[in-house]
């Protein structure tokens, strides 16, 4: 079940904590990956690690998602390199946190450009080859704060909420062509960034989660692998919340 052998996938932000876990999950199920990110050295190192540990002939494609020209070239480069694109995972994102009254225009613009606009451009570009093939899986990594909001993250929450609405709209447009579009919304996930938090702050975060712990990147990867699979053909326009019960949303 959830065998992705013979399928190809583009994962943005794939050298980061959650992105690398998603890449490992897809590769582990047999998909061939195009790993994308802005740091070429980190991508190359991760690609080598992935090839050595899991196997497969994965590739890396450096892309700065704040650069419109590079974004527009990413899907064609993926198709040229892998021969096709079956799965698109819009995972890359940034934060520029600030209270609303102090938020600079640049902080708003940068988050919207990378987290929302770049995802739109990649979805639009991937839709055509997927529709032609009459098969495709588009997965957007949103966030629990896109549904609940969060103080100091008006820009980030807006981008993630917008990504959800955008994905639902695309799902309706592409469903008849065998292409699905869904979201995975992580809650608090343990990464290198959270590992350095003081124990008291970790305890405070865990106290807000009924499961009593932060999630693992592998748990996000498993959710993406399901939505990317052939078995998920009848699931589209949905948001799968993976947050340990912190926000029980329908």
pLDDT digits (tens, 9 = 90+) for 159-197: 999 999 999 999 999 999 999 999 999 999 998 777 877
> pLDDT value at position 147?
95
- Whether residue 34 contacts residue 11, with contact meaning beta carbons closer than 8 Å, is answered with yes
What pLDDT, in 10s, does the model give residues 109-128? 999 999 999 999 999 999 99
Residue 143 is predicted with a pLDDT of 96
Burial class (CB in 10 A: 0-12, 13-18, 19+), 177: middle
Q: What was the pLDDT predicted at 35?
A: 98
Residue 199 is predicted with a pLDDT of 87
Is 234 tagged catalytic? Answer: no
Residue 56, Cβ neighbours under 10 Å: how many? Answer: 15
For the chain, how long is the longest CA-to-CA vector? 53
Task: Return the pLDDT at 166.
Answer: 98
The predicted pLDDT at position 18 comes to 95
Q: What is the mean pLDDT of residues 192-211?
A: 86
Residue 250 banded pLDDT, cuts 50, 70, 90: confident
Domains of the chain and any CATH numbers: 8-242 (3.40.50.720)
Mean of pLDDT values over 57-73? 96
What's the pLDDT band for 148 if we cut at 50, 70, 90? Answer: very high
Kindly name the residue from 46, 108, 135, 156 that is annotated as catalytic: 156
Span between the terminal Cα atoms of the chain, in Å = 26
Q: pTM of this prediction?
A: 0.95
The region, left, alpha or beta by phi > 0 then psi within -120 to 50, assigned to residue 182 is: beta
The residue-averaged pLDDT of 77-83 equals: 97
Quote the pLDDT of residue 23. Answer: 97
The percent of residues in the chain predicted with pLDDT above 90, rounded, is: 90
Tell me the average pLDDT of the chain: 95
**Category of 72 on φ-ψ map: left (φ > 0), alpha (ψ -120 to 50) or beta:** alpha
Q: What pLDDT does 60 receive?
A: 96
- Region 227-248 average pLDDT: 97
Mean pLDDT (whole number) for 227-247: 97
- Can you tell me the distance from the alpha carbon of 21 to that of 217, in angstroms, rounded to the nearest whole number? 5
**What is the pLDDT at residue 68?**
97
pLDDT of 140: 98
């Amino acid at each position: 079940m959830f065998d992705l052998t013979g399928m190809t996938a583009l994962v943005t932000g794939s050298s980061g904590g959650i992105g690398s876990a998603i890449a490992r999950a897809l590769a582990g199920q047999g998909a061939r990956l195009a790993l994308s990110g802005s740091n070429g050295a980190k991508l190359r190192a991760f690609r080598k690690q992935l090839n050595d540990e899991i196997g497969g002939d994965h590739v890396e494609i450096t892309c700065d998602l704040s650069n419109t020209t590079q974004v527009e070239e990413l899907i064609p480069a993926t198709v040229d390199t892998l021969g096709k694109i079956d799965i698109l995972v819009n995972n890359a994102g940034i934060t520029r946190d600030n209270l609303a009254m102090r938020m600079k225009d640049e902080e708003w613009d940068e988050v919207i450009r990378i987290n929302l606009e770049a995802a739109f451009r990649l979805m639009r570009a991937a839709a055509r080859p997927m529709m032609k093939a009459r098969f495709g899986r588009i997965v957007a990594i949103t966030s629990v704060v896109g549904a609940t909001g969060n103080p100091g993250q008006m820009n980030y929450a807006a981008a993630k909420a917008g990504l959800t609405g955008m994905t639902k709209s695309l799902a309706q447009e592409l469903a008849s062509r065998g292409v699905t579009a869904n979201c995975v919304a992580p809650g608090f996930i343990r990464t290198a960034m959270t590992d350095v938090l003081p124990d008291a702050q970790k305890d405070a975060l865990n106290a807000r989660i009924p499961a009593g712990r932060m999630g693992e990147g592998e748990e996000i990867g498993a959710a993406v692998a399901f939505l990317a699979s052939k078995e998920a053909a009848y699931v589209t326009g949905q948001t799968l919340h993976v947050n340990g019960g912190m926000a029980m949303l329908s």
